[in-house]
Structure 1
């Protein structure tokens, strides 16, 4: 391998010391930062016949000098046991491999082991070791890396290095470990690991699959990382974590318990992403782009979807594939403002317990909120390229605001849903109620008075909506419509909207009459059932005709007048002879006197048939008078 260190200055010194040297200004120009050690000259003696020490010889030079790998390893470990800073400085070393397994690095001083700029052609292994002092592998080229089952109490740094082969980290790390700006050319595996202190991978590049099975008890940093293959995070994160500006070109799977603030801001995901976790602190995804699908459920599991317990920010997120938020629970406030969904987006069975901002959200197709629950204060302002229904069937919304524009082609379907004190607003003078369909919908605090004019124009129908080109009534049945207006009436009564309650009651009875008619004509029903339905139909129709189901007093008056006229014709037909003069006016007067017999008394007539007829009319008159008083009082109260 070719070292990543600057070219050393040849040739050997006259006094026989190693000629390897690093000049700080040359190093700074190459790496755009100041070296921690400044100008550095190797303090060791050169090998006999060479201008460099044993650690800076090339592989052919070691062979020529008769330096075996075991000899080199022994010399290195002996140097690390010496006191002082200089013996531990192996900057720019050229090693075939480095095995620190079963090694105790616990010098009496705390000078770091400096292996920066080293080239390790083979494996760097740290197994069953005890590292009690800092070890620096910055700007190294390493064949492969394996760290495990070790007592690591000293800081390890691999900043700006390249690792050609596989990297495997195991067990626990009691001090910070740094892999900043590292290039991993082969698979990277962390399994299983506990990081008790900070783990920094910022600006690193992973060219092969990366897997993290770990507990992070201090802050993990992955800012600006580039993952060119699939990456798995099966982790517990017990501190704030950072993935800002990271790039994920393969599949991204996060299965986690996140107990600190998570930041994945302005990240870019080119493959499918799964973000299943229990987020117990704030989570920020704002500005990120998902070029493929994104989901929040663990595939093949019945444990449900992600749960967000504190504030969550998806502001400005772009999803080009499918966005599936199904069954996700947001126990804290959540912000989707400015999001763009170029693929299907679903919030089915989501639970939103606090403030929800779904404003300035652009969708290619209408989103769905089937059986979603909003118990906080949602604010929805959606726009879609394709007109259609926002499916809110079964959804519960206890309050909040839904905004639509005058030229908006989106319509909302709350079939089988529940609506509380929700404000429906178009932002102009147009009433937006014709953009919504309510079918078998519960109304729990909904303010019908705010939409009285629109309801009046629509003849108080709430199941119809203005949706050109959309079939929105094909699945409606009479029984469902009856239930719809029964629930609307109950909702209006709860908010003391008497006028609305009366109108909804009339529609409820209208559809009940239609249901009785369908049952009476049903060919597959039994005779008894059909007769029973026919009787109910007649009863319903009579109530409608005579008093408008108790809501229209003028119909009682009209029915009363018709009754008086009918009996006048009957009296004329049978030729009642108890009158002074047989004339149309006389028969009409007799019928009217009989109708109001409760007030004036029944006329005295000897004919038994006429007596029977007048008694019947008197009874009907008393009934209609009482019905009129009831209907008039009811209508005035409403």
Structure 2
């Protein structure tokens, strides 16, 4: 087309709307003039500044310029907007600081880069299924009405940096793919402001940036795929945010984000990239003011250092395939980690749980680590109940951990090394290990704030019990309750009673009770039957380990509570007569064995019985009257036996007779006469035989110690 045609077209375009109206130049003529310049104009001719157009309609057009110079519109106004439905634009377009009403690009294709930097869209923006083959820039753009970029394809670098969306915006199903770019991100919404509802549902991003953006209304990122790095650092979410089932295949940075509404990351997957020096998912320093949910999410290396959760937080059934770092995190509401799996290290060091903490059924698998524990709650603080029921630990440390209410480890498995130095704050310092399995480790009582540990039905391995301050060791077993505890389940890793002999001696070998100021319901009532079973297991374990001192002492304790059991049955009116009689006899036998020799552990008691029993029987011979008379003369009275030579001589003969009879020597110079004396002599001989056997029994038991 001759240059004069482009010149005439520019003359039409550079006129003001009033001038065009005065000359009768209509909208169609202006549009034709624009297409003429776009197609045939030079670089200068395709540049417009400060012009006002009724609109630009390129519907179904194939727009191809005579050269590749872009069409540039600076500070121009398109009163009726721009429309390019199913158009094929084969030239660069620049709309800088323009004012555009509607932007309708349905099913269009832009083969070259398009720029709308600083432009204001006063009407709706719709670009459904549009393809931007090269760069698309909307930096500092203002969208005053709704934006629909549904299933739009952005195949090179795309930027909405510092843009403002004043009405609802939808990027549902859009593709932000770009090309490999190591210097910059393919998609940027950095610093953008979203004033109304926004959705990126089912969108697909390569590398992207949202750092510094602000979402003032609810935003949805459901089922979004982030193939490369994802940057949300410092983003402010003033309303609800939904990231359900997103997938991040490289590093995702949500550090220093501020979430003021409810937050959902249900089923989110953070796979992370190949870089081992960076966190695959970082929420470091983030603040969550509303309820937060990460249920069934998956992380590789994750960082929640110094993260603040001001409301209930849920990580139920979440999987951490790499290290999980919650150092200095704060949970003001419920912290729910039920059935969460930590495959590598999990750090809750210096974390604070102001509300309840639930780790029920959680699995802390860890990995081979010789220098430190796989899981750390060191210096953490629990201000409310903490539940670890049914959890599984490989190695864990609760060093200098403070807690206020009950810590419940019922049914928890500690398969390697568990270290506890808990400090109680408050009136209920109780740790419940009922039914737990602890293979090895240590429990240390602090200098202040001692803790009560309940080992009811615990399988206890090689775990060391100690006090932080040496002089407190004498009180150690006042704070541990053993009830039906199993001490020898782990072959080669049994509980070592010998290491605690001094403390048990000071505690009279009592292990079944502790001082508890709070009335609570225990899993097993401490009945004589339960206590007997406890000491029987302790005795068997100590005996198998060759600790005969402990085995003997626990045998004594077991017999003492067995006697109480027999007495209870004997006195139970609901029990059968035979059972009551048998248990009554067993109680008497038990009492005799305890009094006479301390169940084989107190041999000097037998010597005492040997020394005292004949003297007691001699009182009957001396002062029992005719029934207990012997061939020797009885003293006239007790006074005479103590004060007169004749009485003393008579009493001495009868005392000698009693000892001779008891020892079965029988010199024959004195014999029983009364029927009572004959019976007592037989009883003495019988007792002598029994006590002789007890001496042998006690000597054998003591030789085993």
Q: Same fold (TM over 0.5)?
A: yes
The answer to whether 1:378 aligns with 2:418 is yes
Offset, 1:458? 1.9
The answer to whether 1:448 aligns with 2:497 is yes
Relative distance call for 1:258 and 1:553 in structure 2 (3 A) is farther
Q: Which residue of 1 aligns with 2:549?
A: 499
The answer to whether 1:633 aligns with 2:700 is yes
Instruction: State the distance in 2 between where 1:504 and 1:42 align.
Output: 103
Q: Which residue of 2 aligns with 1:546?
A: 596
The answer to whether 1:514 aligns with 2:564 is yes
Relative distance call for 1:387 and 1:546 in structure 2 (3 A) is same
Q: Which residue of 1 aligns with 2:158?
A: 156
Relative distance call for 1:501 and 1:322 in structure 2 (3 A) is same
8 Å contact from structure 1 (residues 550, 630) kept in 2: yes
Instruction: State the distance in 1 between where 2:101 and 2:405 align.
Output: 59
User: What is the 5 A alignment of 1:74-473?
Assistant: 74=84, 80-82=89-91, 87-107=92-112, 112-142=113-143, 143-171=145-173, 173-175=176-178, 176-195=186-205, 197-214=206-223, 215-235=225-245, 236-256=247-267, 257-260=269-272, 261-277=280-296, 279=298, 281-297=300-316, 305-332=339-366, 333-354=374-395, 356-394=396-434, 395-429=436-470, 430-431=472-473, 432-444=476-488, 445-467=494-516, 469-471=517-519
Offset, 1:619? 6.3
Q: Secondary structure at the match of 1:170?
A: coil
8 Å contact from structure 1 (residues 182, 203) kept in 2: yes
8 Å contact from structure 2 (residues 407, 432) kept in 1: no
TM-score scaled to structure 1, two decimals?
Answer: 0.77
Instruction: State the distance in 1 between where 2:337 and 2:408 align.
Output: 22
Relative distance call for 1:406 and 1:103 in structure 2 (3 A) is same
State which drifts further: 252-261 or 427-436.
252-261
Relative distance call for 1:48 and 1:174 in structure 2 (3 A) is closer
Offset, 1:388? 1.6
Relative distance call for 1:345 and 1:415 in structure 2 (3 A) is same
Q: Secondary structure at the match of 2:239?
A: coil
Relative distance call for 1:360 and 1:304 in structure 2 (3 A) is closer
Q: Secondary structure at the match of 1:377?
A: strand
Relative distance call for 1:506 and 1:165 in structure 2 (3 A) is farther
Structure number with larger C-alpha Rg: 2
Q: Secondary structure at the match of 1:139?
A: coil
Instruction: State the distance in 1 between where 2:188 and 2:52 align.
Output: 35
Offset, 1:621? 4.4
Q: Which residue of 2 aligns with 1:591?
A: 661
Instruction: State the distance in 2 between where 1:148 and 1:604 align.
Output: 123
Instruction: State the distance in 2 between where 1:123 and 1:448 align.
Output: 80
Q: Which residue of 2 aligns with 1:481?
A: 531
Relative distance call for 1:247 and 1:364 in structure 2 (3 A) is farther
Q: Which residue of 2 aligns with 1:10?
A: none
Instruction: State the distance in 2 between where 1:538 and 1:623 align.
Output: 15
Q: Which residue of 2 aligns with 1:38?
A: none
8 Å contact from structure 2 (residues 215, 237) kept in 1: yes
Give a deviation string over 1:205-235, Cα, whole Å, max 9, x none: 2222233323444333322222222233323
Relative distance call for 1:408 and 1:624 in structure 2 (3 A) is same
Offset, 1:324? 2.5
Instruction: State the distance in 1 between where 2:702 and 2:51 align.
Output: 117
8 Å contact from structure 2 (residues 662, 688) kept in 1: no
Instruction: State the distance in 1 between where 2:704 and 2:45 align.
Output: 104
Give a deviation string over 1:44-99, Cα, whole Å, max 9, x none: 4448975999786989x544xxxx43xx2239966x421xxxx3333334332334
Give a deviation string over 1:354-405, Cα, whole Å, max 9, x none: 3x23334344545433333322333333335423223323233322333433
Instruction: State the distance in 2 between where 1:358 and 1:412 align.
Output: 14
Give a deviation string over 1:24-59, Cα, whole Å, max 9, x none: xxxxxxxxxxxxxxxxx9984448975999786989
Q: Secondary structure at the match of 1:419?
A: strand
Relative distance call for 1:48 and 1:397 in structure 2 (3 A) is closer
8 Å contact from structure 2 (residues 258, 286) kept in 1: yes
The count of aligned residue pairs is: 579
Relative distance call for 1:232 and 1:470 in structure 2 (3 A) is same
Offset, 1:158? 1.9
The answer to whether 1:527 aligns with 2:577 is yes
Offset, 1:591? 1.7
Instruction: State the distance in 1 between where 2:565 and 2:448 align.
Output: 37
Offset, 1:309? 1.0
8 Å contact from structure 2 (residues 337, 362) kept in 1: no
Instruction: State the distance in 2 between where 1:471 and 1:303 align.
Output: 29
8 Å contact from structure 1 (residues 284, 314) kept in 2: no
State which drifts further: 145-154 or 512-521.
145-154
8 Å contact from structure 1 (residues 387, 409) kept in 2: no
Instruction: State the distance in 2 between where 1:281 and 1:274 align.
Output: 18
State which drifts further: 197-206 or 149-158.
149-158
Give a deviation string over 1:263-311, Cα, whole Å, max 9, x none: 2222212223333345553332221222223333269xx9962211112
Instruction: State the distance in 2 between where 1:47 and 1:76 align.
Output: 27
Offset, 1:193? 4.2
Instruction: State the distance in 1 between where 2:229 and 2:187 align.
Output: 11
Please, what is the CA RMSD of the aligned residues? 4.3
8 Å contact from structure 2 (residues 232, 254) kept in 1: yes
Instruction: State the distance in 2 between where 1:409 and 1:478 align.
Output: 27
Q: Secondary structure at the match of 2:563?
A: helix
Instruction: State the distance in 2 between where 1:523 and 1:330 align.
Output: 52
8 Å contact from structure 2 (residues 338, 358) kept in 1: no
Instruction: State the distance in 1 between where 2:655 and 2:364 align.
Output: 78
Give a deviation string over 1:289-345, Cα, whole Å, max 9, x none: 22223333269xx99622111122333333433333332222222233343444443
Relative distance call for 1:619 and 1:217 in structure 2 (3 A) is farther
